Amino acid sequence: MDPLKHVEKELKKCVKCGACRAHCPAFAAWQREPAAARGKVALAQHLMKQDITLDDQTYLAMSKCLLCGSCVEKCPNEVPTDEIVIAAREALAQRRGLTTFHKAVGRVIRNRKLMNFGAFAAAILGPLFFRKVPATSGLRLRFPLPFVGGKRHIPQLAKKPFLNRHPEVIPGEPGKPRIVFFVGCMTNFVYTEVGEAALALFRHLGCTVIIPKDQQCCGLPGMSGGDLATVRELAEKNLAALEKYEADYIMTACATCGGALHKFYPLVVGKRNPELMARLKAIAEKTVDAAQLLQQLGLHPAETGAGEKLTITYHDPCHLRTRGITRQPRELLQGAPGVELTEMEGADKCCGLGGTFNVYHYDTSLKINAGKSEAILKTGAEAVVTGCPGCMMQLSDGLKQAGARTKVMHTLEILARKLH
Amino acid sequence: MLESRIIDALKEIVGAENVATETQDLLCYSYDATQMEFLPDVVVYPGNTEEISRVLMLANGESIPVFPRGAGSGFSGGSLAKGGGISLVTTRLNRILRIDQENLLAEVEPGVVTEHFQLEVEKLGLFYPPDPASLKFSTLGGNVSENAGGPRAVKYGVTRDFVMGLEVVLPTGEIIRTGGETYKGVVGYDLTRLLVGSEGTLGVVTKIIFKLLPYPEAKKTMLTTFDSIDGAARAVSTIIGNKIIPTTLEFMDYATLQCVDRRFNLGLPVEARAVLLIEVDGDRELIEKQAAKIHEVIKPLGLVEFKVAKDAAESEALWKVRRLVSPSLRDVNPDKYNEDIVVPRSKVPDVIRRIEQIQKKYDIPIVNFGHAGDGNIHVNIMIDKAVPGMEEKAHEAIAEVFRAALDLGGTMSGEHGVGLSKQPFIPLELSPTQIATMQAIKKALDPNNILNPGKMFPVG
Ligand SMILES: Cc1cc2nc3c(=O)[nH]c(=O)nc-3n(C[C@H](O)[C@H](O)[C@H](O)COP(=O)(O)OP(=O)(O)OC[C@H]3O[C@@H](n4cnc5c(N)ncnc54)[C@H](O)[C@@H]3O)c2cc1C
């Protein structure tokens, strides 16, 4: 079946009013209609009608979307362009095959054995990793990436992945919530301190924290390339891992993983695999963002977050903002003694990472990010705080390129300052 | 298809990276908000006046149609390349050239987005009032060419009232300036007024001098609910009859309210049959008095609820009712024709009654809302194109709506323009002599009929 059939109704909703031009970060960067949501919807409509010939240009046009959901949030007709773009990329992949890069991504995120952090980095961080990998390394041969950029600053990789550090079940007080922690690749391999902070905070609240060992990549990198077979495989494995334990909540500290579990699993995977829908929905309903849950469970940041004076500014990750989680992290941060929050201009604007977008369009991704760095620097804050490890990597890169020393931190790190 | 020689010449003028011929590019410049589609042969993004002039000289010499385009948010197909040709996109000309605080004016390029300009002048305590609902994405060049208006037109007027002067590239490639930087000026014909609203058929606007105002000290928003449409309509003329000119007088009929309520649960009183969103601005003390006076004079007209916003957040909440209209409409039917007739203010109740009759006659849902303060009503004919015969019925209904507006001394379109959508109806409003006069002007400026051909005038 043509994947675009899954969004046939949605495609009709777009009346080409152009409102997305005001909100689409890709359009802001390119200033050309094919980059705007409206343009991509138009292309998808024609892809479905099969009245245009496919070539590399079609791929290129469809690749210009960060799946950030900014347009979806603001569209007067509620057109789900993110869902449409995923379907269009799937259709392109079916008709012409996956790109080399996305084949590589799929191979790695699907394979538990390959999923050590070297391979992870090669696939997900692609170009950034390759600066550290010698040109003779087999990794490079395995993942020939023609678009490796040389400028990128890459984060330090953790010595030991988060998932290997803790037992599967960390019991809390009886009667307190049982929480399954969906860790995500970035936290597992790069920002392990975010995982540690999450653990410390929920243990402080007396919760039982369960970290299923056989959890996988959420699959969003595959989804963003149109490799829905891989995403389905991962979703099924994750379902099994997450269902294994009786739990009150499934908690994520990564906005993107949260977005995948909460929104894209039912919306994209469920639509294509109706037999999984009920289970996907059950997982989606239980999925909460860490900051949201901490507030809900009554965390007092005054007890856990006290520390030296620190001026901060907060960046809204797209996949928290579009789920309405903007107030909670700010309120918690402001409650932490010593922390002083100054809002930046355009805190709600996308940082430009966009899953694998930054690999295809590194320069544009940087351009989007440059505006972000400028806004951060204008506040004079010592640290920029956010709720997504993906954004953290992108923000760090941008700030380093701008020659700034601003720290990049996760909300949970600030909230757990006293617990370390 | 254009010869490669022409494409090369265009590349030579604007640079190869600013010429697009790939199918995906052409597709993305084939539509506007009317949902019609016509593929151009090439999309060109010039960077300055001289390049536009050279493109037009080339096109004029070779008789290639050129279609100026801003954001492509037009509601009448004005920017569409019907028959093929060059889509000339102005969005690279996006600089605010100067804001002159002593003379209260600004000079801009046409590709500047309306809201961006507004925010920039507001930083200096200045005010550019025209506020089409598309202001977050439409371009100022598009606003000038369509003579766009918005809710604030009641008090401040439309785009035309703020244009002091223009720089324009004529279809033959010559560059002229019209008007200037002075409020007064009577030398020669008023070409500025001719060009504003000319829908890109007479020249390409490359610079605009706008008049600015001081930003008003304060504003006050009121949401008023009536038990009849008549009450709401009479409220409009009563308020103005009492020598108060609000900034905004937005009106929503019962069908509109039902749509919004079904989806967003507004909690309106059960007696509600029409709503007026009223805003006054100006001196802080004065607007308090005006709000009190408005309440007093509309009370006897079947007023069932009167809400006043205490602060900006509350004002935003009241405006939300109006903003939710668009997204709710499609629950009635998937497709719509959005017409924007105007009648003299006092005739609003009459035209609404006529539309109710038309709705009954054709059995098609019609939802009305809009700028009651200046008699500009958005008539939304809600149809389902999948239902056989419904589209044809809608066309007949539209013609009758237009006739009703004209009978009452109004016009077919207050803001959206003629473009392609209203072409067939033009003879309803304009006499053959009027049309001939306009065509003579067009011919004088565009002898080869290359600039936005096939628009505005009746075909054949
Ligand atoms: C959701 C929505 C709400 C809207 N609300 C309003 C409203 O409240 N009031 C209103 O008046 N309109 C409204 N419109 C219609 C539209 O936004 C306006 O007509 C706007 O002025 C068009 O600007 P644009 O940049 O999109 O122009 P385009 O659609 O690109 O072009 C419009 C016309 O102007 C010509 N043109 C554009 N730039 C130039 C130039 N530099 N020189 C010469 N000709 C040029 C084109 O050839 C075309 O004929 C709305 C549209 C939408 C989709």
Considering CB atoms only, which of A15, A42, A77 is closest to B28?
A42
Q: Which pair of tokens denotes residue A184?
A: 């995500």
Of all residues in chain B, the one with the smallest CA distance to A21 is: B137
**C-beta of B138 in contact with ligand 1 (< 6 A):** yes
- Arithmetic mean of pLDDT over chain A: 86
Confidence check: pLDDT of B250 > 80: yes
Look at A16 and B115 and tell me if their CB atoms are within 8 Å.
Answer: no
Find the B279 Cα to ligand 1 centroid distance in Å. 25
Look at B73 and A61 and tell me if their CB atoms are within 8 Å.
Answer: no
pLDDT tens per residue, range B189-245:
999 999 999 999 999 999 999 999 999 999 999 999 999 988 998 999 899 999 999
Look at A16 and B45 and tell me if their CB atoms are within 8 Å.
Answer: no
- Check residue A131 and give its pLDDT: 44
Name beta bridge partners: B126. Answer: B214
Find the B119 Cα to ligand 1 centroid distance in Å. 19
What is the C-alpha separation between A34 and A57, in angstroms, rounded? Answer: 11
**Test mutation, B17, B18, B24, chain A, max A CBs within 10 A:** B24
Instruction: Name which residue leads in pLDDT, B443 or A147.
Output: B443
Interface of B with A in 131-190 (CB under 8 A): 134, 136-138
- Check residue B251 and give its pLDDT: 92
**C-beta of B145 in contact with ligand 1 (< 6 A):** yes
CA distances from B328 to B158, B318, B325, B334 (A): 27, 16, 5, 11
User: What values do phi and psi take at B222, rounded to 5?
Assistant: -130, 140
CATH architecture, range B333-407: 2-Layer Sandwich (3.30)
Instruction: Name which residue leads in pLDDT, A305 or B104.
Output: B104
What is the C-alpha separation between B20 and B43, in angstroms, rounded? Answer: 5
- Check residue A140 and give its pLDDT: 32
Instruction: Name which residue leads in pLDDT, A21 or A92.
Output: A21
- Check residue A151 and give its pLDDT: 53
- Ligand 1 pocket, mutate which of B28, B38, B66, B73 (most atoms under 8 A from CB): B73
| CB neighbours of residue A386 within 10 Å | 24
B-chain CB neighbours of A17 within 8 Å are 33, 73, 134
Residue ranges, comma separated, of all CATH 3.30.465.10 domains in chain B are 96-214
- Check residue A224 and give its pLDDT: 82
What is the C-alpha separation between A4 and A90, in angstroms, rounded? Answer: 8
Interface of B with A in 91-120 (CB under 8 A): 91-92, 113, 115
Considering CB atoms only, which of B27, B33, B92 is closest to A18?
B33
- The residue whose CA has the least distance to atom 23 of ligand 1 is B142
Instruction: Give per-residue burial for A292-309: e unless 16+ CB within 10 Å, then b.
Output: bbbbebebebeebbeeee
Look at A77 and B330 and tell me if their CB atoms are within 8 Å.
Answer: yes
**C-beta of B68 in contact with ligand 1 (< 6 A):** yes
pLDDT tens per residue, range A154-184:
566 777 889 989 999 999 999 999 999 999 9
**Test mutation, B28, B93, B118, B382, chain A, max A CBs within 10 A:** B28
Distance from CA of A245 to the nearest CA of B (A): 38
Average pLDDT over residues B110-124: 98
For residue B2, which amino acid is it? L
Confidence check: pLDDT of B417 > 90: yes
Residue ranges, comma separated, of all CATH 3.30.70.2190 domains in chain B are 218-327
- The residue whose CA has the least distance to atom 2 of ligand 1 is B134
A-chain CB neighbours of B114 within 8 Å are none
Q: Is B27 on the interface with A (CB under 8 A)?
A: yes
- Check residue A134 and give its pLDDT: 36
| CB neighbours of residue B16 within 10 Å | 11
pLDDT tens per residue, range A394-405:
899 889 888 999
**C-beta of B200 in contact with ligand 1 (< 6 A):** yes
Dmax (CA) of chain B: 72
What's the pLDDT band for A101 if we cut at 50, 70, 90? low
* CATH code of domain A3-96: 1.10.1060.10
Look at B71 and A19 and tell me if their CB atoms are within 8 Å.
Answer: no
Average pLDDT over residues B354-371: 93
Q: Which atom of ligand 1 is nearest to the CA of B144?
A: 21
- Check residue B423 and give its pLDDT: 93
What is the C-alpha separation between B274 and B257, in angstroms, rounded? Answer: 7
Q: Is B426 on the interface with A (CB under 8 A)?
A: no
* CATH code of domain B218-327: 3.30.70.2190
Instruction: Name which residue leads in pLDDT, B163 or B316.
Output: B163
Find the A15 Cα to ligand 1 centroid distance in Å. 15
Average pLDDT over residues A43-66: 85
What is the C-alpha separation between A271 and B423, in angstroms, rounded? Answer: 44
A-chain CB neighbours of B92 within 8 Å are 31
DSSP state of A188: I
Average pLDDT over residues B384-391: 90
For residue A75, which amino acid is it? C
**C-beta of B29 in contact with ligand 1 (< 6 A):** no
Find the B71 Cα to ligand 1 centroid distance in Å. 7
Output helix, strand, coil percentages for chain B, rounded to the nearest 5. Answer: 40, 25, 40
Average pLDDT over residues A74-101: 86
What is the C-alpha separation between A394 and A351, in angstroms, rounded? Answer: 7
pLDDT tens per residue, range A200-226:
999 999 999 999 999 988 988 888 888
User: What values do phi and psi take at B219, rounded to 5?
Assistant: -145, 160
Among the four given CATH numbers 2.130.10.10, 3.10.290.10, 3.30.465.10, 3.40.50.300, the one describing domain B96-214? 3.30.465.10
Q: Chains A and B: how many Cβ contacts under 8 Å?
A: 71
Look at B35 and A19 and tell me if their CB atoms are within 8 Å.
Answer: no
pTM for the predicted model, two decimal places: 0.91
What's the pLDDT band for A108 if we cut at 50, 70, 90? low
- Arithmetic mean of pLDDT over chain B: 94
What's the pLDDT band for A355 if we cut at 50, 70, 90? low
Of all residues in chain A, the one with the smallest CA distance to B328 is: A77
How remote is the C-alpha of A167 from its chain's centroid?
A: 26
Considering CB atoms only, which of A15, A17, A33 is closest to B29?
A33
What is the C-alpha separation between B412 and B376, in angstroms, rounded? Answer: 10
Distance from CA of B375 to the nearest CA of A (A): 24
**C-beta of B107 in contact with ligand 1 (< 6 A):** no
What is the C-alpha separation between A371 and B336, in angstroms, rounded? Answer: 39
A-chain CB neighbours of B23 within 8 Å are 52-53, 57
| CB neighbours of residue A53 within 10 Å | 8
pLDDT tens per residue, range B23-73:
889 999 999 999 899 999 999 999 999 999 999 999 999 999 999 999 999
Q: Is A34 on the interface with B (CB under 8 A)?
A: yes
Of all residues in chain A, the one with the smallest CA distance to B20 is: A32
Confidence check: pLDDT of A145 > 70: no
Average pLDDT over residues B260-266: 83
Average pLDDT over residues B310-320: 90
DSSP state of B451: B
Considering CB atoms only, which of A32, A38, A77 is closest to B327?
A77
Q: Are the C-beta atoms of residues B44 and B389 closer than 8 Å to each other? A: no
- Check residue A419 and give its pLDDT: 87
SS3 A348: coil
DSSP state of B139: B
* CATH code of domain A301-419: 3.40.50.11810
**C-beta of B134 in contact with ligand 1 (< 6 A):** yes
B-chain CB neighbours of A33 within 8 Å are 25, 28-29, 72
B-chain CB neighbours of A57 within 8 Å are 22-24
Interface of B with A in 296-335 (CB under 8 A): 326-327, 330, 334
Q: What is the ipTM metric for this complex? A: 0.93
Of all residues in chain A, the one with the smallest CA distance to B138 is: A18
What's the pLDDT band for A364 if we cut at 50, 70, 90? confident
Instruction: Please give the CATH topology (third level) of the domain spanning B4-89.
Output: 3.30.43
Look at B28 and A39 and tell me if their CB atoms are within 8 Å.
Answer: yes
**C-beta of B179 in contact with ligand 1 (< 6 A):** no
Look at A42 and B25 and tell me if their CB atoms are within 8 Å.
Answer: no
Look at B330 and A13 and tell me if their CB atoms are within 8 Å.
Answer: yes
Average pLDDT over residues A39-53: 90
Confidence check: pLDDT of B450 > 50: yes
User: What values do phi and psi take at B372, rounded to 5?
Assistant: -60, -30
Every domain of chain A and the residues it spans: 3-96, 301-419
Distance from CA of B309 to the nearest CA of A (A): 24
